[in-house]
């Protein structure tokens, strides 16, 4: 279990370093200018098309560079018997993932350079506002457009469970738009549940691997946790946090672009899309620096959702047994070092979540029988 988590962590770090390295090499060697010239050549000097070709080449290079690590990650999941995905299906997922990345990346890049050309002084403010709108849009369509590209979903059929969830959500004073069964078992042996979507697409999704092996009481406890995210409005709050961070990111990108153009003479002008790796570098460094803070915020939300679930279910015992099962099934590190928790974990360690539930149980003994 420790070894699995250590490998996964190192894979994540290696992947990040590789991506960062690519951006730095492109900028330091000037190869980004050659890619831009190539893109212009292919696009017949049409700017919008050239931006697209440039992004396409960048995503291809990035994918090819990271393919070894991706494949190693696939092998690791098998080695620890956490995956039953066939190689062919994995390759299909890689291609789909690359395509989704290309479409989203191209939309974002076109938007950035269109605003740069239209409003060179305030492009970063306009692009920031547009990014937030797009972010909300993607959060909304993700469960109906993006997730189904990789997994099958169907409305939950277990009537008894559905009934329980409706009662749970009524007690919470909220309405969830739907509960879906997520066919995770086709690819993985892990179990998972999540709250996804926004507005009309807001839904709870439950992996079939969870529905199979957990008692109704345990599933209810996990549902109650997801409902806790909903009750505490974690998705809209997350969007606000995201908006604040991207604001800083765009401001910094604008400053650094000007510095690179005026002082370092790396590029002729803002609209030279060979500077895209520099914008991406700013975003990568910013997310890296903010990761511990964002993870801390996420762990805070998770604890809040856990506390909600204790009060929403008749007994905390299934919450504890469900957590134990999840930890075993997903090979989760029950008690990682404090440093690993602070740097990498978006959820509190299972040991702490169970401990918190037990503490709550003791202090509320007699209230919830």
Closer to Zn ion by CB, 220 or 302: give it.
Answer: 302
Q: How far is the CB of 350 from Zn ion (least distance, A)?
A: 12
Q: Which two tokens stand for residue 160?
A: 């008894």
Residues 6+ apart with CB under 8 A from 97: 150
Closer to Zn ion by CB, 35 or 305: give it.
Answer: 305
d(CA 27, CA 278): 7
Closer to Zn ion by CB, 246 or 301: give it.
Answer: 301
Closer to Zn ion by CB, 74 or 360: give it.
Answer: 360
Closer to Zn ion by CB, 36 or 234: give it.
Answer: 234
Alpha helices in 189-332 (DSSP H): 208-213, 216-231, 234-262, 276-312, 317-329
Q: Which two tokens stand for residue 342?
A: 């602070």
By CB under 5 A, the residues from 323 to 342 that bind Zn ion are: none
- Specify whether the CB–CB gap between 328 and 298 falls below 8 A: no
Residue owning tokens 């003479």: 265
Q: How far is the CB of 46 from Zn ion (least distance, A)?
A: 46
Q: Which two tokens stand for residue 252?
A: 């910094």
Short-list 205, 118, 128, 220, CA closest to 168? 220
By CB under 5 A, the residues from 282 to 321 that bind Zn ion are: 302, 305
Q: At residue 231, what are phi and psi to the nearest 5 degrees?
A: -60, -40
Closer to Zn ion by CB, 77 or 302: give it.
Answer: 302
Q: How far is the CB of 225 from Zn ion (least distance, A)?
A: 6
Q: How far is the CB of 229 from Zn ion (least distance, A)?
A: 6
Encoded one letter per residue, x for contact with Zn ion by CB under 5 A and - for no contact, window 68-97 reads ------------------------------
> Which secondary structure element, helix H or strand E, spans residue 165, and what is its range?
helix 159-171
By CB under 5 A, the residues from 228 to 267 that bind Zn ion are: none
Closer to Zn ion by CB, 139 or 305: give it.
Answer: 305
Closer to Zn ion by CB, 204 or 305: give it.
Answer: 305
Residue-wise DSSP of 53-96: HHHHHHHHHHHHHHHHHHHHHHHHHHHTT-B---HHHHHHHHHH
With CB under 5 A as the rule, give the number of residues binding Zn ion.
2
Closer to Zn ion by CB, 274 or 305: give it.
Answer: 305
334 DSSP 8-state letter? S
Q: Which two tokens stand for residue 257?
A: 């672009």
Q: Which two tokens stand for residue 113?
A: 């350079």
Q: How far is the CB of 300 from Zn ion (least distance, A)?
A: 11
N-terminal to C-terminal alpha carbon distance within the chain: 35
187 DSSP 8-state letter? T
d(CA 100, CA 5): 27
Question: Applying CB under 5 A, which residues contact Zn ion?
Answer: 302, 305
């Amino acid at each position: 279990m420790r070894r699995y988590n250590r490998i996964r962590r190192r894979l994540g770090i290696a992947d990040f370093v590789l991506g960062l390295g690519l951006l730095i090499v492109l900028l330091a060697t000037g190869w980004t200018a050659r890619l831009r010239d190539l893109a212009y050549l292919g696009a017949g000097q049409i700017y919008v098309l050239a931006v697209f070709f440039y992004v396409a080449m960048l995503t291809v290079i990035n994918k090819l560079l990271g393919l070894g690590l991706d494949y190693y990650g696939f092998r690791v999941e098998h080695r620890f018997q956490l995956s039953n995905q066939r190689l062919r299906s994995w390759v299909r997922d890689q291609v789909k993932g690359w395509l989704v990345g290309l479409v989203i990346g191209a939309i974002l890049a076109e938007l950035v350079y269109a605003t740069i050309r239209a409003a060179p002084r305030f492009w970063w403010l306009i692009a920031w506002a547009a990014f937030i709108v797009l972010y909300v849009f993607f959060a909304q369509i993700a469960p109906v457009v993006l997730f189904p590209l990789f997994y099958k979903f169907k409305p939950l059929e277990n009537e008894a469970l559905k009934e329980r969830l409706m009662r749970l959500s009524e007690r919470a004073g909220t309405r969830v738009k739907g509960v879906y069964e997520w066919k995770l078992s086709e690819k993985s042996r892990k179990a998972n549940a999540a709250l996804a979507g926004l507005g009309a697409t807001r839904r709870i999704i439950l992996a079939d691997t969870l529905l199979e092996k957990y008692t109704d009481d345990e599933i209810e406890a996990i549902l109650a946790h997801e409902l806790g995210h909903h009750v505490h409005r974690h998705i809209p709050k997350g969007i606000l946090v995201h908006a604040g961070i991207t604001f800083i990111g765009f401001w910094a990108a604008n400053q650094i672009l000007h510095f690179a153009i005026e002082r370092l003479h790396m590029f002729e002008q803002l609209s030279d899309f060979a500077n895209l790796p520099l914008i991406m570098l700013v975003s990568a460094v910013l997310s890296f620096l903010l990761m511990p803070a964002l993870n801390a915020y996420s762990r805070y939300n998770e604890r809040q959702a856990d506390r909600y679930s204790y009060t929403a279910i008749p007994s905390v015992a299934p919450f504890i047994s469900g957590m134990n099962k999840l930890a075993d099934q997903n090979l989760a590190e029950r008690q990682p070092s404090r440093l690993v928790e602070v740097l990498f974990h978006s959820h509190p360690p299972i040991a702490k979540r169970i401990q918190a539930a037990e503490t709550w149980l003791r202090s509320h003994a007699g209230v919830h029988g």
